[in-house]
Protein backbone atom coordinates (compact mmCIF):
# COMPACT_ATOMS: atom_id res chain seq x y z
CA UNK A 1 0.00 0.00 0.00
CA UNK A 2 1.28 3.47 -0.85
CA UNK A 3 0.31 6.57 1.10
CA UNK A 4 1.51 10.15 0.64
CA UNK A 5 4.80 10.87 2.41
CA UNK A 6 3.93 14.46 3.36
CA UNK A 7 1.55 17.33 2.82
CA UNK A 8 3.22 19.46 0.15
CA UNK A 9 1.30 22.73 -0.25
CA UNK A 10 -1.96 24.59 0.02
CA UNK A 11 -3.22 26.80 -2.81
CA UNK A 12 -5.54 29.72 -2.20
CA UNK A 13 -7.59 31.63 -4.75
CA UNK A 14 -7.93 35.28 -3.83
CA UNK A 15 -8.99 38.71 -4.99
CA UNK A 16 -6.83 40.28 -2.28
CA UNK A 17 -3.60 39.14 -3.91
CA UNK A 18 -1.24 41.77 -2.48
CA UNK A 19 -2.76 41.66 0.99
CA UNK A 20 -2.66 37.86 1.08
CA UNK A 21 0.92 37.81 -0.21
CA UNK A 22 1.98 40.19 2.55
CA UNK A 23 0.08 38.19 5.20
CA UNK A 24 1.64 34.82 4.32
CA UNK A 25 5.09 36.40 4.19
CA UNK A 26 4.58 37.90 7.65
CA UNK A 27 2.76 35.09 9.39
CA UNK A 28 4.87 32.18 8.14
CA UNK A 29 8.04 34.24 7.64
CA UNK A 30 7.72 32.84 4.13
CA UNK A 31 9.79 33.92 1.17
CA UNK A 32 8.43 34.42 -2.31
CA UNK A 33 10.00 31.85 -4.64
CA UNK A 34 8.27 33.10 -7.76
CA UNK A 35 5.74 35.80 -8.48
CA UNK A 36 3.92 37.15 -11.51
CA UNK A 37 0.68 39.15 -11.71
CA UNK A 38 -1.39 35.94 -11.60
CA UNK A 39 0.40 33.60 -9.21
CA UNK A 40 2.86 33.58 -6.35
CA UNK A 41 4.69 30.65 -4.80
CA UNK A 42 5.93 30.93 -1.22
CA UNK A 43 7.80 28.68 1.13
CA UNK A 44 9.03 28.69 4.72
CA UNK A 45 11.32 25.64 4.63
CA UNK A 46 13.10 23.39 2.14
CA UNK A 47 9.87 22.56 0.29
CA UNK A 48 9.90 24.48 -3.02
CA UNK A 49 6.48 25.88 -2.24
CA UNK A 50 4.22 25.61 0.78
CA UNK A 51 1.65 28.04 -0.57
CA UNK A 52 0.53 29.24 -3.93
CA UNK A 53 -1.71 32.27 -4.24
CA UNK A 54 -3.81 32.55 -7.37
CA UNK A 55 -4.81 36.09 -8.25
CA UNK A 56 -8.40 35.65 -9.41
CA UNK A 57 -8.47 39.26 -10.62
CA UNK A 58 -6.00 38.06 -13.29
CA UNK A 59 -7.59 34.65 -14.03
CA UNK A 60 -11.18 35.90 -13.98
CA UNK A 61 -11.23 39.72 -14.19
CA UNK A 62 -15.00 39.92 -14.65
CA UNK A 63 -15.74 37.75 -11.64
CA UNK A 64 -16.66 38.99 -8.21
CA UNK A 65 -15.36 37.95 -4.84
CA UNK A 66 -17.31 35.06 -3.41
CA UNK A 67 -18.11 34.49 0.22
CA UNK A 68 -16.61 31.69 2.29
CA UNK A 69 -19.04 28.78 2.22
CA UNK A 70 -20.51 27.57 5.47
CA UNK A 71 -20.91 23.86 5.97
CA UNK A 72 -18.82 22.73 3.02
CA UNK A 73 -15.15 22.62 2.14
CA UNK A 74 -12.05 23.09 4.26
CA UNK A 75 -12.60 24.48 7.77
CA UNK A 76 -8.95 25.00 8.61
CA UNK A 77 -5.42 23.80 7.96
CA UNK A 78 -3.37 22.90 11.05
CA UNK A 79 0.35 23.52 11.56
CA UNK A 80 2.39 22.00 14.37
CA UNK A 81 5.15 24.06 15.97
CA UNK A 82 8.24 22.46 17.49
CA UNK A 83 7.36 23.44 21.05
CA UNK A 84 5.24 25.80 23.13
CA UNK A 85 7.98 28.43 23.15
CA UNK A 86 7.98 28.59 19.35
CA UNK A 87 4.19 28.88 19.31
CA UNK A 88 4.06 31.60 21.96
CA UNK A 89 6.91 33.53 20.34
CA UNK A 90 4.98 33.38 17.06
CA UNK A 91 1.84 34.60 18.86
CA UNK A 92 3.81 37.54 20.29
CA UNK A 93 5.51 38.38 16.97
CA UNK A 94 2.17 38.37 15.15
CA UNK A 95 0.48 40.43 17.85
CA UNK A 96 3.18 43.07 17.41
CA UNK A 97 2.27 43.09 13.69
CA UNK A 98 -1.40 43.57 14.55
CA UNK A 99 -2.33 39.98 13.66
CA UNK A 100 -4.37 38.40 16.44
CA UNK A 101 -6.03 35.01 16.79
CA UNK A 102 -9.77 34.46 16.89
CA UNK A 103 -9.66 31.36 19.10
CA UNK A 104 -7.04 30.25 21.60
CA UNK A 105 -8.08 26.87 22.97
CA UNK A 106 -6.54 23.88 24.68
CA UNK A 107 -8.02 20.83 22.97
CA UNK A 108 -6.42 18.37 25.37
CA UNK A 109 -4.55 16.71 22.52
CA UNK A 110 -3.18 20.02 21.29
CA UNK A 111 -2.76 23.56 22.56
CA UNK A 112 -4.05 25.58 19.63
CA UNK A 113 -4.24 29.16 18.44
CA UNK A 114 -6.47 29.81 15.44
CA UNK A 115 -6.02 32.63 12.93
CA UNK A 116 -7.79 33.81 9.78
CA UNK A 117 -6.02 35.23 6.76
CA UNK A 118 -7.33 38.39 5.01
CA UNK A 119 -9.85 36.28 3.04
CA UNK A 120 -11.04 34.44 6.14
CA UNK A 121 -9.23 31.14 5.50
CA UNK A 122 -8.65 29.56 8.89
CA UNK A 123 -5.45 28.06 10.19
CA UNK A 124 -4.56 26.39 13.44
CA UNK A 125 -1.12 26.82 14.97
CA UNK A 126 -0.64 24.13 17.55
CA UNK A 127 1.69 22.17 19.74
CA UNK A 128 1.09 18.51 20.45
CA UNK A 129 0.40 17.77 24.09
CA UNK A 130 0.70 14.02 23.67
CA UNK A 131 3.99 12.19 23.33
CA UNK A 132 2.76 10.15 20.38
CA UNK A 133 -0.31 9.08 18.41
CA UNK A 134 -1.02 6.24 20.88
CA UNK A 135 -1.25 8.69 23.78
CA UNK A 136 -3.47 11.01 21.71
CA UNK A 137 -5.75 8.11 20.77
CA UNK A 138 -5.99 7.09 24.42
CA UNK A 139 -6.98 10.64 25.39
CA UNK A 140 -9.63 10.76 22.65
CA UNK A 141 -11.20 7.63 24.14
CA UNK A 142 -11.14 8.97 27.72
CA UNK A 143 -14.05 10.16 29.84
CA UNK A 144 -12.47 13.63 29.97
CA UNK A 145 -12.59 13.91 26.19
CA UNK A 146 -16.16 12.56 26.02
CA UNK A 147 -17.21 15.17 28.60
CA UNK A 148 -15.52 18.03 26.73
CA UNK A 149 -14.29 17.23 23.21
CA UNK A 150 -13.85 20.91 22.25
CA UNK A 151 -11.45 21.93 24.98
CA UNK A 152 -10.91 24.82 27.36
CA UNK A 153 -10.22 28.42 26.39
CA UNK A 154 -6.69 29.63 27.11
CA UNK A 155 -5.15 33.07 27.50
CA UNK A 156 -2.07 33.31 25.25
CA UNK A 157 -0.92 36.56 26.92
CA UNK A 158 -0.96 34.89 30.34
CA UNK A 159 0.85 31.84 28.94
CA UNK A 160 3.42 34.09 27.26
CA UNK A 161 4.03 36.01 30.50
CA UNK A 162 4.48 32.77 32.45
CA UNK A 163 6.74 31.37 29.73
CA UNK A 164 8.91 34.49 29.95
CA UNK A 165 9.04 34.15 33.74
CA UNK A 166 10.51 30.70 33.26
CA UNK A 167 7.54 28.53 34.15
CA UNK A 168 8.35 25.12 32.63
CA UNK A 169 6.54 24.42 29.35
CA UNK A 170 5.39 21.04 30.73
CA UNK A 171 3.40 23.00 33.32
CA UNK A 172 2.04 25.49 30.80
CA UNK A 173 0.91 22.72 28.47
CA UNK A 174 -1.39 21.10 31.03
CA UNK A 175 -5.01 21.63 30.03
CA UNK A 176 -6.56 24.14 32.45
CA UNK A 177 -9.66 23.29 34.42
CA UNK A 178 -12.73 25.03 33.09
CA UNK A 179 -15.92 24.78 31.10
CA UNK A 180 -16.03 23.68 27.48
CA UNK A 181 -14.80 26.55 25.32
CA UNK A 182 -17.54 28.16 23.23
CA UNK A 183 -16.86 27.74 19.52
CA UNK A 184 -16.61 31.30 18.14
CA UNK A 185 -18.67 32.27 15.08
CA UNK A 186 -15.41 32.97 13.22
CA UNK A 187 -14.80 29.20 13.23
CA UNK A 188 -17.50 28.91 10.62
CA UNK A 189 -19.57 26.09 12.07
CA UNK A 190 -22.67 28.25 12.26
CA UNK A 191 -23.99 31.15 10.21
In three-state secondary structure terms, 170 is helix
If you write DSSP's letter for every residue of 120-182 in order, what string do you get?
Answer: --EEEEEEE-SSSHHHHHHHHTSHHHHH-SS-EE--HHHHHHHHHHT--HHHHTSPPP-SPPP
Q: Which is nearer to Fe ion, 78 or 184 (CB)?
A: 78
Q: Does 183 bind Fe ion (CB under 5 A)?
A: no
Per CB under 5 A, the list member of 43, 78, 92, 150 interacting with Fe ion is: 78
Interacting stretch for Fe ion, rule CB under 5 A, among 7-15, 27-35, 71-79, 137-145? 71-79
Of 142, 146, 151, 140, which is closest to residue 173 (Cα–Cα)? Answer: 151
Cβ 154 to Fe ion, closest distance in Å?
15
What secondary structure letter does DSSP report for 124? Answer: E
Q: How far is the CB of 124 from Fe ion (least distance, A)?
A: 4
Taking the least distance from each CB to Fe ion, the nearer of 15 and 184 is 184
Shortest CB 177 distance to Fe ion, Å = 22
Which residues ranging from 80 to 139 are in contact with Fe ion (CB under 5 A)? 124
Compute and round to an integer the Cα radius of gyration of the chain.
18
Which residues of the chain form contacts with Fe ion (CB under 5 A)? 78, 124
Amino acid sequence: MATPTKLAHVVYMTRRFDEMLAWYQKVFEASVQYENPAVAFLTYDDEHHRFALLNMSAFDPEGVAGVMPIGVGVNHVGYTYANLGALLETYERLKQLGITPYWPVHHGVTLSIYYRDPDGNRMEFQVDCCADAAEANKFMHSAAFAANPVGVEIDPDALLAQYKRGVPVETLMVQPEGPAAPIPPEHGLSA
